Amino acid sequence: MNDSRRNFIKKSMIGLAGLSVSSLKNLSFESFDQVQQERKVIQRTLGRTGLKASIVGMGVANNSDLLPLAYDSGINFIFTSGEYRNGIPEREIGRFLRNKPRESFIIADGVGGDKYINPITLKFTRNFKKEMITEFLDRGLQRLGLDYIDIYCLGNLASRDTALHEPFLEVLKELKDKGKIRFIGGSTHRNEHIVLKAAADSNIYDAIITSYNFRLANRNRIKDAIAYASAKGLGIIAMKTQAGVYWDSKRKNKINMKAALKWVLQDNNVHTCIPSFSNMNEFEEDLSVMKDLTLTPAELRDLKINDSKMEDGLFCQQCGDCLAQCNNCFNIPAVMRSYMYAYGYGNIVKAKETLQSIDFTADPCTDCEYCAVNCSMGFDIKKKVFDIININEIPD
C-alpha cells in the first residue's frame, strides 16, 4: 500500500471515530435552554401532503448523534434510507423516536435504484423486481419501529422512463392503499427538470427530492420545473444544497454555507431541504438561516453566481455527457458523487455506499493509456477515479 493511500485511510477513519466527540465538545449545555427559546422555526406545507415541515430538515446517514438536538430545535423532517450502513441509521432513528408523539416528526425513507438503472439508456434493468420494494419497506418499518412511513421514495430517478415505470408505481400505490406509506415520493440528481415534470404530470407522486443549488449549470431549468411541480401540488425537498462545500479540489477555499442554503430556501416553492451536517458547528450554521432568509449583498458576492471563471470544485453537475465518451462505459456520475461525499462533505460512509451501489470495486481506468472523457466541468476523471477507489480499502 503506497503512502498516499495509507494516509487517506488513516485520516478517514480518524474523522469517523471523532464525530461524536467533536459534536459534544462544541455544545454549551449551560446556555442550551436559552438558545432553544430564542430559536425561530419556519415551516412550509409539503404540497398536497398537507404535512408541515421545518424548512431545514435532516438527512441521517452517519450523524444520528445529532438527532436529539435537531428534534429539540424544531427540526421535524428526517430523511434516511435502509441502504445507509445496512439500515443502522433506521434503527438509531427508531430508538430515538420511540415514545415520541407520531405527529411530531415526518419520516421520509426510500430505496435507491442506481445499480438497477442502465446509465446509458436510463431505464430500469430486469434485475430490479417490484417485490424488492415491498421487502425493503417492510425491513425499514421494522427497524424504525413504525406502522407507516410518511413519504417513501423511489431513488435515483434520472429520466421520464424511470419516473413513470409502471410496475414500481403500481406497487407503491398498493403500499399506500394498505397504509404502509402515506405518500409516494421520488428522488433525482440527474435530469432533474425532466423528472420533476414527469412526476408532476403523473398524478401519482406526492413529493420529490431533487438536487438544487446555486452552482448547477441548469439551475434555472430546475427552478422552473420546481415551480411547475409545486403548482401541481408536489411537495418539493431540496438536496445537495451545499454544492460540494469547497470551491477547489484542494479544500482550501470553502463555499459560504449559509449563503448557499439561503439561496435555495429563498425559492418559496422549495418546502424543505436536507443539508448535510455532521457536527455541532455545521448544525448551528444550517439552523441559523431560519433567523433571516435574506441574502445580503456580501453573501451574493460570496456565491459568485455570475462568475464564469469558477474553480471546478467538488460538485459534479451529473449531466451524463461523460458516459458516451468512456471506453469502459462505467457509471462516472455515481463515482463523482462518491468523490464529492468523501472529499467535500467528509462523509466516508456515504461515499463508500455510493460506490458499492454500482459494484465499483476495481479501477476501470487501469487499461486506459489516456482518458477519452472530456468532462464539461473540467474534472480530471482518471485522477478522481484513482483517488476515490482507495475508499474500498476502508473496512465497513
Q: pLDDT at position 7, please?
A: 52
Residue 294: the pLDDT is 93
Task: Give pLDDT, residue 42.
Answer: 93
Residue 243 is predicted with a pLDDT of 87
Give whole-number Cα distances, 53 to 42, 172, 229, in Å: 8, 22, 18
Strand partners, 56: 273
- What is the pLDDT, as a whole number, of residue 271? 98
pTM: 0.82
Domain coordinates in residue numbering, the chain: 39-303
How far is it, in rounded angstroms, from Cα 369 to Cα 204?
48
Fold for the domain defined by 39-303:
TIM Barrel (3.20.20)
Low-confidence ranges of the chain (pLDDT < 70): 1-39, 113-115, 118-120, 308-312, 359-362, 396
- pLDDT tens, 56-114? 999 998 788 999 999 999 999 999 998 888 889 999 999 999 999 999 999 999 987 66
Neighbours of 147 (CB within 10 A): 9
